[in-house]
Amino acid sequence: MTALLIVARFAQFASAMALFGASLFLAALAPPVLRADLAPSMRPIVTIASVAAAASAALWLLLESGEMGGGWRYAVDPTVLATVLADTGFGQVWRARLVLALILIVLAFWRAAPPAALAALSAFFLASLALVGHAAMRENAAGLFERANQALHLTAGGFWLGSLPPLLLSLRRLGDPALKGATGAALRRFSGLGHVAVAAVLVTGAINTFVILGRPPLDFSSVYQACLAAKIAMVAIMVVLALFNRYWLTPRLALDPEAEFALARNTAVEIGLGGLVLALVSAFATFEPV
């Protein structure tokens, strides 16, 4: 059951981040001419992510019920499911998140839906994950701070990772004279907000480590610490790649035709590393933080 929970968590993080990053990119980073051109290519990402977000949230609920009941058959036992939804903190949060997931599906499939509405609701959907899990274990003012910190960790990480697929699709438009200017503007906006998002991920991640673990993850005999250390190493590689893309390749875009190819390749590598980061945290945050 734990293995399936890890899969459900991965699908939930990845889909919620893809939905948030894609809709925010369209709503706030892409100028109208680029948005109009990009939106049809983004539709498969947005619609599949919305369905995956709802499905993985539902699966996570079933597994939580199975775990609380003490076996597989309780995962689909209506009495246990009703008790989990009505009487637990997880259930309270999940009731709201499941309703939100259905609204997100409607917005994702509705072509006329304003991208800003999808961006705002998917931000809530992603941030509300901070109300369950290790960051939500304490009830006092410190607990409130830890939840807020985790919500910021998730949304900043979601902006960073979730914006990479639309960024990759935008790069292909640099060669189109009608879209070159708008694409350049989107790249500059992404870079500006990206700096803030990366800084926020690093600071909130360090705070998370301090409040949940209480020390740097240096004892590799603990699976939790070994996985957290691997996650930090991967994020470090992603930061180096992002800096190289921004300060070496981007200024060379107009001069060197190879730079565009290298930028697209590095962005794809960043997406892959981001996927590994999510896979790691989907697993290790189900273990005891020791």
Looking at the Cβ atoms of 8 and 186, the one nearer to ligand HEM is 8
CA distance 109 to 50: 9
Shortest Å, Cβ 153 to ligand HEM:
6
- Tokens encoding 191: 């870079």
Angle at alpha carbon of residue 101, lines to 99 and 103, rounded to 5°: 75
For residues 235, 239, 242 and 248, what is the CA-based torsion angle, rounded to 10 degrees?
-150
Shortest Å, Cβ 280 to ligand HEM:
9
Please name the helix (run of DSSP H) or strand (run of DSSP E) that holds residue 81, with its range, or none: helix 78-87
Looking at the Cβ atoms of 149 and 170, the one nearer to ligand HEM is 149
Looking at the Cβ atoms of 174 and 212, the one nearer to ligand HEM is 212
Shortest Å, Cβ 184 to ligand HEM:
25
Shortest Å, Cβ 126 to ligand HEM:
9
Please name the helix (run of DSSP H) or strand (run of DSSP E) that holds residue 217, with its range, or none: none
Looking at the Cβ atoms of 163 and 170, the one nearer to ligand HEM is 163
Closest to 107 in 3D by CA, of 95, 96, 119: 119
Shortest Å, Cβ 92 to ligand HEM:
16
Looking at the Cβ atoms of 30 and 235, the one nearer to ligand HEM is 235
Residues that bind ligand HEM (CB under 6 A): 13, 129, 133-135, 153-154, 157, 160-161, 201-202, 205-206, 208-209, 212, 228, 231-232, 235, 238, 274, 277-278, 281, 285, 289
Shortest-Cβ-distance residue relative to ligand HEM: 205
User: Is the CB of residue 129 less than 8 Å from the CB of residue 12?
Assistant: yes
CA distance 220 to 145: 28
